Amino acid sequence: SPIKRSAIALVTPLPPQPSAEAPALLLTIRDLTGEAQLSRMRADFVANASHELRTPLASLKGFVETLQGAAKDDPVARVQFLKIMQQQAERMSRLVEDLLSLSRIEMREHVAPTAIADLSAVADEAVGALEAAARESAISIEKSVPSGDWQIQGERDELVQVAQNLIQNAIKYGKPGGKIVVSLDREGDRIAFAVKDDGIGIAPEHLPRLTERFYRVSAKESRERGGTGLGLAIVKHIVNRHRGELRIRSTVRVGSSFTVLLPAKTVQKPNT
């Protein structure tokens, strides 16, 4: 669809030139489309984030009132309501954690990482942290890491976050009783870190928008699984910082694969 462009024009009369036949004007046009788009995106983001936080907050307030009033002397209701309140509070802290992660990463996005990270250790750490969660859904995680040099120039903690967000999604949207494959491969002068599941899959029309903040195929399903809608936005920013690329392939009811392509560490040529 065509985008609406906006611009500002500035007209300045130039001092009369004795040689000129007519008076001259200087016309400057500045395209403001990019800036307008950026400020609209920022406003949308603040509105979305506030809305996401307001929902669990409203629920918490409602239950506090009920526990102070109608359910004051009802021990059964108390147990049940406190459990819901705990879930809502946890939801709020996940949101705040993700929002903070996002802003921290955004601040560093234009600073290239200088540390060296080993992607096979990154994969091990992420899988280790999520094995228990996978087992709860009867999902097995298989690692396919051929022996080799998997070092890149990168920030280990950020790369672990990428791996964890992708594996977490594979568990959340995977098939109960299914399998997740976490793999490392060489692709030319890049390393491909891939997470593949055999879950619900994603229809093609959603693919281009998945890394947008708060974009979800189904907000309800994401929420039920403890999602915030920020995981892939975080992944995208970290991948950008590492001069990498995120490739998503998916087929509905067959499964999805999320591949992060990262430049391999340049090998020092031996001195001759």
Ligand X SMILES: Nc1ncnc2c1ncn2[C@@H]1O[C@H](COP(=O)(O)OP(=O)(O)O)[C@@H](O)[C@H]1O
CA separation for the pair 121, 156 (Å, rounded): 9
Q: Which does 210 bind (CB under 5 to 8 A by kind): ligand X, Mg ion, none?
A: ligand X
Give yes or no for residue 56 binding ligand X (CB under 6 A).
no
Q: Which two tokens stand for residue 81?
A: 């309501």
Choose between 154 and 227: whose C-beta lies nearer to Mg ion: 227
Binding mask 120-159 for ligand X (x = CB under 6 A): ----------------------------------------
Q: Which of 49, 99, 119, 210 binds ligand X (CB under 6 A)?
A: 210
Q: Which residue from 95, 119, 159, 170 is in contact with ligand X, where contact means CB under 6 A?
A: 170
Position among 56, 113, 154, 229 found at the interface with ligand X (CB under 6 A): 229
3-state SS record for 148-170: CCCEEECCHHHHHHHHHHHHHHH
Binding residues for Mg ion (CB under 5 A):
169, 227, 231
Gap between the Cα atoms of 120 and 101, Å rounded: 23
**Dmax of the chain from CA atoms?**
96
Q: Is 228 in the site for ligand X (CB under 6 A)?
A: yes
CA angle 7, 9, 15 (to 5 degrees): 160
Contacts of 38 (CB under 8 A, 6+ apart): none
- Does position 199 interact with ligand X (CB under 6 A)? The reply is yes
Measured from the CB atom, is 139 or 152 closer to ligand X? 139
- Please state, in angstroms and rounded to a whole number, the distance separating the CA atoms of residues 257 and 139: 16
- Smallest distance from Mg ion to CB 70, Å: 37
Token pair 């946890």 in the structure block, residue: 90
Please list every residue from 24 through 43 that binds ligand X, using CB under 6 A.
none
- Which of 74-82, 106-114, 149-157, 231-239 is the region at the interface with ligand X (rule: CB under 6 A)? 231-239
Residue 197 touches ligand X, criterion: CB under 6 A: yes
**Total residues at interface with ligand X (CB under 6 A):** 22
Q: How buried is 38 (Cβ within 10 angstroms: 0-12 exposed, 13-18 middle, 19+ buried)?
A: exposed
Reference 182, options 174, 170, 191; nearest CA is 170
Q: Tally the residues of the chain.
A: 272
Binding segment for ligand X among 1-9, 43-51, 76-84, 222-230 (CB under 6 A)?
A: 222-230
Q: Which residues bind ligand X (CB under 6 A)?
A: 165, 169-170, 172-173, 197, 199-202, 210, 216-217, 222, 227-233, 256
